[in-house]
Amino acid sequence: MSETATRPRGRPSVEIAGTTSRQRTGPANSPRELYSSSQPPRKRARLGASKNQRGLDSSIDVEDMPGVSDSTNGHSNGVKMQPEFVGNRGIINREEFARLLEQSLCDLGYPSIAKALEEASGVDMQSQIVQQFRGKILEGSWREVLGLVDRLELRTPGAEDKAKFLILQQEYLEALERSDSALALKTLRTRLAPLANKERRAQLHRLSSLLMCTSGADLREKALWEGAGEYSRKKLLIELQGLLPPSLLLPERRLMVLVEQALDSQRAACKLHNTNSPHFSLLKDHKCEHLIPRVTNQVLEDHADEVWHIQFSHNGRYLASASKDCTARVWEVL
């Protein structure tokens, strides 16, 4: 039975420091021999470290490395062929990882470095048609955007009509905002209406009612819309993202999302972590240094006198408390 109460003044309380899920561990990476001593000296990787240096002072001939050949990867920049999968466990797709790095560099404000990485790796972040599609949306060139939709490989047959409806809806709202009623009415009658199936019929009627708006502010308020500009167009791109395969149009800020998921996983795996602090270092795996939880998560206030004893149930779902007020209470741990 779960009990909660507001805290009376002067009454004793029980403070509980919570814990989280199981600790996840894994085997450490073990070193492996790259080349056997039977190979000629030219084929060996000369790995050594001097007394005054930390780590490995490596000298490896790239052309003799396993998995790397002298052939190019099909691009005209003559980049050496690289392994398809990289990482300590060999499970990260090299081309996808390069694309995510390029996207993250652009998100951080380094487009020139992203372009240099594209040229060095021979891997384009987006295909030419997707670059045009994204650029035309941000420009607001809706006629060109609709022409590109026919050339994209959408996930389902009905996705093309849905994508066109979303694009035309943005064009319609922008026309209304700049008081171009003729274009707005034409878009509504001749382009949006034919795409309005049963699922979109109610949305079409709502768009029609916006013709009565008296100002741009009135339009934005009734349409729950941010107005013409980069923000609303990027929001449109996110909506269209669900209609395109991720290999064609990268999800927004994808590498950052993966890093955040890794940090959340480390926090969940730490048995002693019971705070909501989002600040973790990326330079090392997270592990709480203290031996017991140190942050109070919940205060149980219902006893009228001193609390003498508390005990968790074997499954950890309940907590029993005994008090000098001659009562024992059972609490459900949430």
Q: Which two tokens stand for residue 268?
A: 């969940």
Helix (H, G, I), strand (E, B) or coil at 269: helix
Which residue has 């390069």 as its token pair? 98
On whether the CB atoms of residues 46 and 59 are closer than 8 A, the answer is: yes
- Buried/exposed 194-230: b ≥16 CB within 10 Å, e otherwise: ebbeeebeeebeebeebeebeeeeebbeebebeebee
Dihedral angle sign, alpha carbons of residues 95, 99, 100, 102: positive
Kindly report the number of other CB atoms within 10 A of residue 133's CB atom.
Answer: 24
Nearest in space to 265 (alpha carbons), one of 4, 14, 25: 25
pLDDT digits (tens, 9 = 90+) for 217-266: 999 999 999 999 999 999 999 999 888 888 888 988 999 999 999 988 88
The pTM (predicted TM-score) of the whole model is: 0.57
Q: How far apart are CA 9 and CA 6, in angstroms?
A: 10
Q: What is the pLDDT along the chain (334 residues), one digit of tens a residue?
A: 444 444 444 445 444 444 444 444 444 444 444 444 444 444 444 444 444 444 444 444 444 444 444 434 434 444 555 678 998 899 999 999 999 999 999 999 999 999 999 999 999 998 899 999 999 999 999 999 999 998 887 878 789 999 999 999 999 999 999 999 999 999 999 999 999 988 899 999 999 999 999 999 999 999 999 999 999 999 999 999 888 888 888 988 999 999 999 988 888 888 777 666 667 788 888 877 776 666 677 788 888 889 899 999 998 899 999 999 999 999 988 7
Which residue has 């199981």 as its token pair? 22
Non-local CB neighbours of 121 within 8 Å, separated by 6+ positions: 79, 82, 98
Q: How far apart are CA 212 and CA 222, in angstroms?
A: 11
Phi, psi of 195 (to 5 degrees): -90, -5
